[in-house]
Structure 1
Amino acid sequence: NGLLFTGGEDRNVTAWDTNSGQAAYCLEGAHATRVKGIVVLSGKAGGIEDVDEPYLVASASSDGVIRVWDMRMARKEKPTPLAEASTKSRLTCLAGSSVKCA
């Protein structure tokens, strides 16, 4: 039971079920331009680490925007990012690490 996340020319962030090979859900129009990087952020909230079901995903687009998504909200009609930053630079990749919340 696992998910693989992709982004691309279609400007979407898609979660794929690794067992079935089918799309589990999709953030349509996650960015205004092509998605160039995806990072799954393992999280720790209230002292409990959620490594089996990571739900925070960061995405970067070629227009320089980085967004953080709560993928549990992906099935909503128009999900909004938890955070957004504009680097004012053309992005070509993204890297990240775990996050800790009190």
Structure 2
Amino acid sequence: MESKSNSEYHTRLYCFAGTCRCSFKKEPRMGRAAGINLAPAATGAAIATTKALPQYAGKFDGIAVRVPVPVGSISDITFIAERPTTIEEINQVLIDESKTDRYKRC
């Protein structure tokens, strides 16, 4: 899929898990009671995205937040299009991309 946007931003909310550490020397804010607080966290998703899709280098950034729920996650990707577009056009791009070889194993 060709990049047709000026910038993208990825927000990922995910559950606090038993494997998450509650004490971080490099990030003291992470030492809060994770089971009852929203905790900002670093994410490698933006870096991984630009490695997999180099056309997004310099355009893609993101943030992760650990949330006090037993299970689950949600991702949101927001972008600014280079030109006027419609919801239907964006949905069609996503539908077309989902049919490529990249996603046949999913």
TM range (shorter): under 0.3
Q: Which has the higher contact order (CA 8 A, sep 6+)?
A: 2
TM-score w.r.t. the length of structure 1 is 0.26
Bigger share in strand: 1
Structure 1 or 2, whichever has the larger Rg, is: 2
